[in-house]
Structure 1
Amino acid sequence: MVFSSVLFLFYYFPVVLLVHYLSPVKWRNAVLLVFNLIFYGWGEPIYILLMVFTIVVDYADGLLVGRFKAQGRDGAARIAVAAAIVINLALLFFFKYWDFIAGSLAAVGLNFMPELGLRLPIGISFYTFQTMTYPVDVYRGDARPQRSLVRFGTFVTLFPQLIAGPILKYKELADQVDERSWSVEQFASGVQVFVVGLAKKVLLANNIGMLWDTYKAMDSSQLTVAGAWLGVLAFALQIYFDFSGYSDMAVGMGRMLGFEFLRNFDYPYISRSITEFWRRWHISLGSWFREYVYIPMGGNRVGRFRLCFNLMVVWGLTGIWHGASWNFLLWGLYFGVLIIAEKLFLLKWIEKWPAACQHLYTLFLVLVSWAIFGLEDFGQMVSYMQAMFGGAAGGLADSAFGYYLRSYLPMLVIGGVASAPLARVLWDKLSQKAEKVVLPVLLLAGLVLCTAYLVDSTYNPFIYFNF
């Protein structure tokens, strides 16, 4: 079940809200837990057992860590934390990376690992990272051990962010799981954020994504230089509106249920460096790796060689987290090299450039990265990137490029404007009186238009659904 579906919008979520708020306060977490598991098991009932196993293991481990710390047995507490991390990573490795590694070994003649053909449990990358933070936070003293299995289960399975984030740390949500407030203003704000996210996904990402799918499926002999760049530009906008739209919907639904999640995107395409881009893109993932991997490895409080090593490890892991394919690892290492270069010397030069040049530098490198990210087949990736950099068999441009540019130009312009904070700045200048009139009209119009698209169209992909 995906958020951008008629089933979810007009049946599942309204029922969740109704039952949740009609239930006594002390039962609301239990009610949410049931609905969370129904949501997760809608498409893959068997993997509910995997999620329940993860919940029980990390819940018990958190209690053990808390007990050992209270007894002054720091060594035992560290072993308990390590055990939880190993179990979680082992499950993630088995379901997400086993077949990838088995296939890679088989390609070079090593056949000792059989390919199992297992389906990837939806959202396993997200909820595995979330559960691993719990024993670590308890060990560090950043959170108290959760005594209620129901409350901990609610945290792990919280459906608004279960399959696409943002990645939540236990210490950030512990108090809200135990006790949360509700107000009409908070609920209304949640509706607003949700509808904006839905519009990003349905009206922008889905429509722009069809242009990328066209160029992605195009034979290399038909690619032109201009067409290849047009296609990857479309993908850049699609993946942004797709993922940030889902994150906005998660934040909005969380508010409607009384939770406050941190924002996951902050207009990344206005960045003036790659370092800044990653402060604005998928903020919760960057924060997770920084706090639980980069800083424990020494962060930037080390020598230059170790700093480079730490960054390459973090960015290699960031890449492979996105998918079991070599292109994702290459994508992560690509950003690792760029960020190392900026930290060591490049950023000092870039800061002296005019602002426009800084933006162009960043957008150019980000667009190249999306070509790596979006094409899992290495042969296709190489051919596509050759086309981008002048080696297109179709030449500089052709009639097909002109046709697609004319057809999608209005959508690309809208996407470009919507990916920048211009609309927000203009909105903030509205008077409160005008806002009270305009906002409900825009939200209703957006909801109606999105619904019409969903009813009429069968094209409704979700890029991060497989991560």
Structure 2
Amino acid sequence: MLFNSPLFLLVFIPLFLMAYFAVPGIRLRNAVIVLFSIFFFAWGDPVFVWYVIAGTWIDYMIIKHVLMNPTLSEEVKKGGLVVAILINVGALLFFKYANFFVDQVQPLLHMIGIEKPSWYGVALPLGISFIAFHKISFVLDLYKQRTSPPASFIEALLYILFFPQLIAGPIIRYHEISQQIRVRTHSAEEFIAGFFRFARGLGKKALIADPAGEIANAIFALPPESLPSHYAWVGVLAYSVQIYFDFSGYSDMAIGLGRVVGFRFPENFNQPYTAKSVTEFWQRWHITLSNWMRLYLYIPLGGNKVAPWRMYFNLWIVFLISGLWHGAAWNFVLWGAYYGFFLTLEKMCERRGWDLPMPGVVKQLLTFVIIINAWVLFRAESLDYAIQLLGRMYGLIPQLQPTTEPFALIFPPHGLVVIVVGLLIAVIPLPEALHRLAMVKDSLKLDSIRWAASIVLFWSALSSIMASGSSSFLYFRF
């Protein structure tokens, strides 16, 4: 069930909110969330939902009877933690990477007469990457005693299955939300603020990301060698607009829905295309993934408190894993290595006190070029396609078979306008005055403005969806 489908917007959400606010007390409201979350997940994946419930039960039992058992030794608790992590990582590796591994070794196996195994073709469950990271955070946070354990299995299920962030984040660490599961407040002001955030995200998706995506899809469907350089550039810029407004739009919708029912989720984006370095970009893009990687992987590897060569190695490891987390393909591996290279280079320059004397806008432009090159690797269906498209962008590969598709057909005027407007919104830093406005305490006047803006955004986006149809969010594939 897509967040931007009429079924979700006009049926599921109203029924959920009516049921949620109709029952008294946090415990019953938590139960409503869990029931609707199970239904939401089962709608798209009726088989895998039972795996998630069973896996959460195993995590909960390990936490309750091993990690939180004061009579057990530290060695036993550590063993329980290792078992829980191995189960969750093993499931992620099997579901997401088993097919990829078989594809890589199959030519060799075929030479010695071994055919593909009977289980080949494992289906990729919904949100497997996000679910795995949540489940790992669940057991690690409690082993490290960063917060108190869930009071019931319902609370554990709520953390793992809460439908707003279930499929594509934000990645919420358990210690960030555990207290809100037990105690949270509701008010008209919070409801309005949450609905405004939800409508803003829906508008990003329907009014900007989807029109830009039509152009990006048209370009990436053509053979790279047939594309003029300017076609390739427009297509990649269209995808840069699409993925930002698509993913940040989903995060806005998740954060907004959470706020409507009293939860405060962490922010996931902070104007990433305004970054003046690759390091700053990753402090602004998919912030919850960066924070997860830093807390659960980079710091345990030694972080910055090791020799310089080891710190650079840690960065590469983190971003190679980040690339693989996004997808089981060589272009994602190269995407992670690409960012690992630039982050290592920036760390080296920082340690030596090197800083290029250039205006901030030039640094922002150079960083943006690095980012959109990476999006080619991210979007392309194969590594070979990505290399050829990059070659056409920079004129390094000749145009062998000129496309017969006219420019006006691939790039309709309204689509080009959306790309230009989207780029301007994304790359121009938000004025400080608007930052201060966002921090102003809620008032009746501000609530009225938010409510009116929410209605306009919601119905504009819904009208666009009803006219053009709803498309899946890009991060649903991860």
* TM-score normalized with structure 2 length: 0.92
Offset of 1:378 from its aligned partner? 2.3
Quick check: 1:334–1:369 contact (8 Å CA) kept in 2?
yes
Unmatched tracts of structure 2, length 5 or more:
none
Counterpart secondary structure, 1:45: coil
Counterpart secondary structure, 2:47: helix
CA distance in 1, matches of 2:11, 2:444: 33
CA distance in 2, matches of 1:84, 1:312: 26
Quick check: 1:193–1:252 contact (8 Å CA) kept in 2?
yes
- Identify which of 378, 384, 399 aligns with 1:393: 399
Relative to structure 2, which stretch is displaced further, 19-28 or 4-13? 19-28
Offset of 1:417 from its aligned partner? 2.6
Quick check: 1:181–1:258 contact (8 Å CA) kept in 2?
yes
Counterpart secondary structure, 2:254: helix
Quick check: 1:97–1:324 contact (8 Å CA) kept in 2?
yes
Which amino acid in structure 2 is aligned with residue 416 of structure 1? L
Quick check: 2:192–2:450 contact (8 Å CA) kept in 1?
no
Q: Which residue of 2 aligns with 1:89?
A: 89
Q: Tell me the alpha carbon deviations over residues 53-110 of structure 1, each in whole angstroms, 9 at most, x when there is no partner.
A: 1110111111134334x23611111111111000001111111111111111114446
- Is residue 288 from structure 1 mapped to residue 288 from structure 2 by the alignment? no
- Is residue 355 from structure 1 mapped to residue 360 from structure 2 by the alignment? yes
Quick check: 2:228–2:399 contact (8 Å CA) kept in 1?
yes
Relative to structure 2, which stretch is displaced further, 33-42 or 304-313? 304-313
Q: Which residue of 2 aligns with 1:55?
A: 56
Quick check: 1:224–1:394 contact (8 Å CA) kept in 2?
no
CA distance in 2, matches of 1:149, 1:399: 57
CA RMSD after TM alignment: 2.4
- Is residue 73 from structure 1 mapped to residue 73 from structure 2 by the alignment? yes
Q: Tell me the alpha carbon deviations over residues 353-408 of structure 1, each in whole angstroms, 9 at most, x when there is no partner.
A: 21121111100100100000001222222211110110240799999457727553
* TM-score normalized with structure 1 length: 0.94
1:304-343 to structure 2, matched below 5 A, reads: 304-343=308-347
Q: Which residue of 2 aligns with 1:265?
A: 269
Q: Which residue of 2 aligns with 1:408?
A: 415
Counterpart secondary structure, 1:265: coil
CA distance in 1, matches of 2:472, 2:398: 28
- Identify which of 244, 247, 251 aligns with 1:243: 247
1:107-122 to structure 2, matched below 5 A, reads: 107-109=107-109, 111=114, 114=117, 116-122=120-126
CA distance in 2, matches of 1:334, 1:313: 12
Cα–Cα, structure 1 residues 173 and 414, in superposed 2: closer, same or farther, change >3 Å?
same
Cα–Cα, structure 1 residues 433 and 122, in superposed 2: closer, same or farther, change >3 Å?
closer
1:57-456 to structure 2, matched below 5 A, reads: 57-68=58-69, 70-71=70-71, 73-109=73-109, 111=114, 114=117, 116-345=120-349, 348-350=353-355, 352-390=357-395, 391-393=397-399, 400-401=406-407, 404=411, 406-420=413-427, 427=434, 435=446, 438-456=449-467
CA distance in 2, matches of 1:460, 1:192: 22
Which amino acid in structure 1 is aligned with residue 39 of structure 2? I
CA distance in 2, matches of 1:301, 1:65: 31
Offset of 1:418 from its aligned partner? 2.4
Which amino acid in structure 2 is aligned with residue 16 of structure 1? F
Offset of 1:459 from its aligned partner? 5.2
Offset of 1:462 from its aligned partner? 1.6
Q: Tell me the alpha carbon deviations over residues 139-185 of structure 1, each in whole angstroms, 9 at most, x when there is no partner.
A: 11102222300111111100000001001111111111112111111
Which amino acid in structure 1 is aligned with residue 399 of structure 2? A
Counterpart secondary structure, 2:309: helix
CA distance in 1, matches of 2:108, 2:283: 38
Counterpart secondary structure, 1:181: coil
Quick check: 1:224–1:395 contact (8 Å CA) kept in 2?
no
Aligned length: 466
Relative to structure 2, which stretch is displaced further, 321-330 or 267-276? 321-330
Q: Which residue of 1 aligns with 2:4?
A: 4
CA distance in 2, matches of 1:334, 1:177: 39
